Amino acid sequence: MDAVRARWLPPPEWSREETLMFPASLKGPWAHLVEEPNSEGIGTATYRHRVPADEAALTALAKRPLTALSNELPTWLQDLQAALDGAVFEAYGLARDASDQRILDHLLTLSLWRTDHS
Protein backbone atom coordinates (compact mmCIF):
# COMPACT_ATOMS: atom_id res chain seq x y z
CA MET A 1 0.00 0.00 0.00
CA ASP A 2 2.76 2.43 0.89
CA ALA A 3 4.42 1.90 -2.49
CA VAL A 4 1.17 2.70 -4.32
CA ARG A 5 0.57 5.79 -2.20
CA ALA A 6 4.20 6.90 -2.62
CA ARG A 7 3.87 6.67 -6.40
CA TRP A 8 0.94 9.09 -6.31
CA LEU A 9 3.15 12.01 -5.30
CA PRO A 10 5.22 12.45 -7.29
CA PRO A 11 5.40 9.76 -9.94
CA PRO A 12 9.11 9.13 -10.64
CA GLU A 13 8.85 10.19 -14.27
CA TRP A 14 7.67 13.65 -13.18
CA SER A 15 10.89 14.44 -11.35
CA ARG A 16 14.62 14.33 -11.70
CA GLU A 17 17.44 14.44 -9.21
CA GLU A 18 19.34 17.68 -8.90
CA THR A 19 22.72 17.90 -7.19
CA LEU A 20 23.94 21.05 -5.51
CA MET A 21 27.54 21.40 -4.33
CA PHE A 22 28.58 24.29 -2.11
CA PRO A 23 31.10 25.21 0.59
CA ALA A 24 29.93 24.29 4.08
CA SER A 25 31.26 24.16 7.62
CA LEU A 26 31.51 21.23 10.00
CA LYS A 27 29.88 23.56 12.55
CA GLY A 28 26.89 24.49 10.41
CA PRO A 29 23.54 22.92 9.52
CA TRP A 30 25.04 21.09 6.52
CA ALA A 31 27.79 19.45 8.60
CA HIS A 32 26.50 15.93 7.92
CA LEU A 33 27.06 16.49 4.19
CA VAL A 34 30.56 18.01 4.37
CA GLU A 35 33.29 16.07 2.60
CA GLU A 36 37.01 16.66 2.73
CA PRO A 37 37.02 19.53 5.22
CA ASN A 38 40.16 21.67 5.43
CA SER A 39 41.98 22.55 8.65
CA GLU A 40 39.33 25.21 9.37
CA GLY A 41 36.47 22.71 9.02
CA ILE A 42 35.29 24.00 5.64
CA GLY A 43 34.60 21.46 2.93
CA THR A 44 32.19 20.73 0.13
CA ALA A 45 28.60 19.73 0.84
CA THR A 46 26.78 17.68 -1.79
CA TYR A 47 23.01 17.93 -1.55
CA ARG A 48 20.76 15.80 -3.76
CA HIS A 49 17.04 16.46 -4.05
CA ARG A 50 14.14 15.87 -6.42
CA VAL A 51 12.78 18.65 -8.61
CA PRO A 52 10.06 18.64 -11.30
CA ALA A 53 11.37 17.16 -14.55
CA ASP A 54 9.95 20.02 -16.65
CA GLU A 55 7.23 22.69 -16.77
CA ALA A 56 4.52 20.13 -17.56
CA ALA A 57 5.50 18.10 -14.50
CA LEU A 58 5.55 21.24 -12.34
CA THR A 59 2.01 22.11 -13.47
CA ALA A 60 0.75 18.55 -12.93
CA LEU A 61 2.35 18.33 -9.47
CA ALA A 62 0.71 21.58 -8.40
CA LYS A 63 -2.66 19.87 -8.97
CA ARG A 64 -1.71 16.88 -6.79
CA PRO A 65 -0.68 18.06 -3.34
CA LEU A 66 -0.28 15.40 -0.69
CA THR A 67 -3.13 16.97 1.26
CA ALA A 68 -5.46 15.95 -1.56
CA LEU A 69 -5.03 12.34 -0.43
CA SER A 70 -6.22 13.28 3.06
CA ASN A 71 -8.98 15.68 2.10
CA GLU A 72 -10.69 13.56 -0.55
CA LEU A 73 -9.52 9.97 -0.45
CA PRO A 74 -9.53 8.50 -3.94
CA THR A 75 -11.35 5.18 -4.32
CA TRP A 76 -8.11 3.29 -5.00
CA LEU A 77 -6.67 4.53 -1.68
CA GLN A 78 -9.88 3.75 0.21
CA ASP A 79 -9.78 0.19 -1.22
CA LEU A 80 -6.13 -0.26 -0.22
CA GLN A 81 -6.79 1.10 3.27
CA ALA A 82 -9.76 -1.24 3.71
CA ALA A 83 -7.63 -4.21 2.65
CA LEU A 84 -4.89 -3.21 5.08
CA ASP A 85 -7.39 -2.70 7.90
CA GLY A 86 -8.86 -6.13 7.20
CA ALA A 87 -5.42 -7.77 7.28
CA VAL A 88 -4.60 -6.10 10.61
CA PHE A 89 -7.92 -7.12 12.19
CA GLU A 90 -7.38 -10.69 10.97
CA ALA A 91 -3.80 -10.77 12.25
CA TYR A 92 -5.03 -9.71 15.70
CA GLY A 93 -7.96 -12.12 15.65
CA LEU A 94 -10.58 -9.38 15.73
CA ALA A 95 -13.81 -8.94 13.81
CA ARG A 96 -13.80 -6.04 11.37
CA ASP A 97 -16.70 -4.45 13.22
CA ALA A 98 -15.04 -4.67 16.65
CA SER A 99 -15.76 -1.68 18.85
CA ASP A 100 -12.96 0.56 20.06
CA GLN A 101 -13.46 -0.86 23.56
CA ARG A 102 -13.17 -4.44 22.25
CA ILE A 103 -9.97 -3.54 20.37
CA LEU A 104 -8.44 -1.91 23.46
CA ASP A 105 -9.41 -4.86 25.68
CA HIS A 106 -7.89 -7.30 23.19
CA LEU A 107 -4.64 -5.34 22.86
CA LEU A 108 -4.33 -5.02 26.64
CA THR A 109 -4.86 -8.77 27.03
CA LEU A 110 -2.16 -9.47 24.42
CA SER A 111 0.21 -7.03 26.08
CA LEU A 112 -0.31 -8.61 29.51
CA TRP A 113 0.19 -12.09 28.03
CA ARG A 114 3.48 -10.99 26.42
CA THR A 115 4.62 -9.49 29.74
CA ASP A 116 3.89 -12.77 31.54
CA HIS A 117 5.63 -14.87 28.85
CA SER A 118 8.76 -12.89 28.15
pLDDT tens sequence across 14-48: 899 999 999 999 999 999 999 999 999 999 999 99
CB atoms under 10 Å from CB of 24, counted, come to 22
- Whole-number pLDDT of residue 77: 81
The predicted structure's pLDDT at residue 8: 65
CB neighbours of 5 closer than 8 A, spacing ≥ 6? 69, 77, 80
Q: Does 52 lie in the same domain as 11? A: yes
Instruction: Report, as ranges of residue numbers, the positions in the chain whose pLDDT lies below 70.
Output: 1, 5-9, 66, 69-70
**What pLDDT sits at residue 60?**
87
Residues 61 and 77 in one domain: no
Q: Report d(CA 25, CA 21) in Å as an integer.
A: 13
Q: What is the pLDDT of residue 7?
A: 66
**The pLDDT of residue 5:** 66
Asked whether residue 41 falls in the same domain as residue 11, the answer is yes
Neighbouring C-alpha atoms within 13 Å toward the C-beta of 26: 9
Q: Do 17 and 46 lie in a common domain?
A: yes
Q: pTM of the predicted model, to two decimals?
A: 0.47
81 and 60, same structural domain? no
Quote the pLDDT of residue 64: 77
Domain count, the chain: 2
Q: pLDDT at position 25, please?
A: 97
pLDDT score recorded for residue 20: 97
Give residue 32's pLDDT: 96
Q: Comparing C-alpha atoms, which of 83, 23, 15 is closest to residue 50?
A: 15
Q: Which domain holds residue 81?
A: 73-118
